[in-house]
Amino acid sequence: MGQALFYHLTRHPLDVTLTLLLEKSLQRGWRVMVRGRDEGRLDWLDRKLWLGPEEGFLPHGLAGGEHDADQPVLLGTGPQIANGAGCLISVDGAEVTVEEVAALERACILFDGRDAAAVQHARGQWKALTGGGAKAQYWSEESGTWKMKAES
């Protein structure tokens, strides 16, 4: 059974933290599914990933193409994980189920600490996942470095 890691973003924007987590996941040999709620926002993330430094290029694609299964990192809005990912990263409040956490190596939930609705939604996700038996950790960058603040 995997675990859910909640990342409370307060200092760095989503694209910076996402890039860091994608790099670490690929280093572990995991494929990654990035699940969002809005295709426009995922298009924006896709452009950010393409514009990164050449030496740090993260191979990825947007879901819906004929090569989804081959993508090391796949960005999409649907519930399917078409690339056989071992890690699911939820952005902008995209849902993650207890069953997914159990089946994956890791599920990461990134939420904006400056957005009260996003924080409230993440609290609901924490309760739903831990209430369903998933192991979870809460990480904050408030002090300037990532520190685990809670575990269940």
* Fold of the domain spanning 3-151: Rossmann fold (3.40.50)
What pLDDT is attached to residue 52? 74
Summarize the confidence of residues 8-34 as an average pLDDT.
95
Q: In the predicted model, is pLDDT for residue 21 greater than 90?
A: yes
What pLDDT is attached to residue 46? 94
First to last CA, the chain: 14
CB 98 within 8 A of CB 136: no
Q: In the predicted model, is pLDDT for residue 135 greater than 80?
A: yes
Residue 100 Rama label (left phi>0; alpha psi -120 to 50; beta): alpha
pLDDT, tens only, 86-134:
999 999 999 999 999 999 999 999 999 999 999 999 999 999 999 999 9
pLDDT above 90 as % of the chain:
89
Number of H helices, E strands in the chain: 4, 8
Summarize the confidence of residues 73-93 as an average pLDDT.
97
Show me where the domains of the chain are located: 3-151
Summarize the confidence of residues 22-42 as an average pLDDT.
96
Provide the mean pLDDT of the chain: 95
Record the pTM: 0.95
DSSP 55: G
Distance of CA 13 to the CA centre of its chain: 13
What pLDDT is attached to residue 56? 74
